[in-house]
Amino acid sequence: MRRSFYAAIPLLIMVSSLCGAQELPPVNYDESKVPAYELPDPLVALDGTRITTPALWFHKRRPEILELFTREMYGRAPGKPERMKFELLEQSDHALGGRALRRQVRIVFDTRHPEVAMEVLLYLPSHTPRPVPVFVGLNFRGNHTIHPDPAIRITKSWVRNDRRLGITNNQATPQTRGIAASRWPVEYILSRGYGLVTAYYGDIDPDFHDGFRNGVHGLYPNAGDKHGPEDWGSIAAWAWGLSRIVDYLETVPEIDRNRIAVIGHSRLGKTALWAGANDQRFSIVISNNSGCGGAALSRRRYGETVARINRSFPHWFCDNFKKYNENESALPFDQHMLIALIAPRPVYVASAVEDRWADPRGEFLSCLHAEPVYRLLGAGGLALNAMPPLNTPAFSRIGYHIRTGRHDVTLFDWAQYLTFADRYFKDENR
């Protein structure tokens, strides 16, 4: 089996950022070397007010935390565009041998600049009562890579070069059709009664640092030289794009707008969490191996750290976040508070035991320390006090599992996410 490009991220980070990496200490994978730290309390406001009621959470502390993450980490994104347009590109009521409805749609973010657009691929199960619940997630290499279906349009957007796959000049090729199918078990998802909606993240913002001039950044006045320390980075841009997908889905009568789950892996797991924190139309939020800047606690300095992620990917976060390079204790938040922003909606965090770069323990601890907010809101929380055994999922309001294997999305992961969704999209409504 071909080893995924994204499975080699830690090595590539070190190679691609030699100047920054030489200035950093060795990566820590020793639990005994995790520094002592104290986490900010999500239920204590900046003025010292103790948050004791849901009203105080929603009207005081939650907006305060959201503003801190916006200003100091992800950056300030614009709202819904005024000149957005949806264009149907292709539709079949008998896709995948009659098992699915397929629809391909272009979302033009601003009709004055139609060249900046995102293509959305949608599959709905043919024999499931309408409206159906859906999973929404961005993909890494183009919609055509998630399934060998020959009708899926090949992306014309920038893609990362890969000689092993014949990708040069940053252009996708037909040879890459279906190469990511293992991460997107379309038929299985459909068989469980769910639709799948995906778009290529590079349509929204190409994943390299050009000074915030390309992609959706270029549509707004703070692109390029005007980009300020609080302005949005790429993760905020990708999360913004996920919300634009929901704008479209709200126009599709076959989809249940009250049962939309957002899912993401790795950097797109960070994106899914930030999208879920900002947009409460996502009823379930799922983070797969999201690590630093996602579900993992920054203060642990285990695996990837704030300094390493900022120096390797300077475009992912706002410039203010760089103040915390090797200075995590000064952060006015940590990632458990990102998960708390999703409360009381269900959230699921998944780790892989070989993915030490993403700090599985730090991901679990974020779930654990977000629990007081969930309990304050009467939503239960995490049904665990310690990390569970491998491949043993916990389906509480804060779901969690750590599985065998490496940095990837597997059929095991999807089976848990679908069961988790059954619990909150189906069982609670019976």
- The angle, 0 to 180 degrees and rounded to 10, between the axes of the packed helices 267-278 and 62-69 is 140
Half-sphere exposure of 149 (CA within 13 A, CB side): 28
What whole-number distance in Å separates Cα of residue 88 and Cα of residue 286?
Answer: 28
Alpha-carbon 29 to chain mean position:
24
CA 400 to chain centre: 16
Q: How far is CA 373 from CA 48, 124, 209, 273, 384, in A?
A: 16, 35, 36, 16, 15
Q: Under DSSP, is residue 398 helix (H, G, I), strand (E, B) or coil?
A: strand
Compute the distance between CA of residue 282 and CA of residue 35 in angstroms, rounded to an integer: 35
The secondary structure of 351-396 as a DSSP string is: EETT-GGG-HHHHHHHHHHHHHHHHHTT----S-SSPPPTT--B-S
CA torsion, points 245, 319, 38, 351, in degrees to nearest 10? 40
For 95, the 3-state DSSP assignment is helix
Is residue 283 within 8 A of residue 344, CB to CB? The reply is no
Q: At what angle do helices 234-249 and 267-278 cross, to 10 degrees?
A: 60
Instruction: Just list the catalytic residues.
Output: 266, 407
- Identify the residue whose tokens are 């973010």: 109
| Nearest partner of 189 among 198, 178, 176, judged by Cα | 198
What are the phi and psi torsion angles at 106 (to 5°)? -100, 130
Helix (H, G, I), strand (E, B) or coil at 257: strand
> Shortest CA distance to 181 belongs to which of 414, 419, 393, 421?
414
Distance CA 420, CA 20 (A): 40
**CA 411/CA 405 separation, integer angstroms:** 12
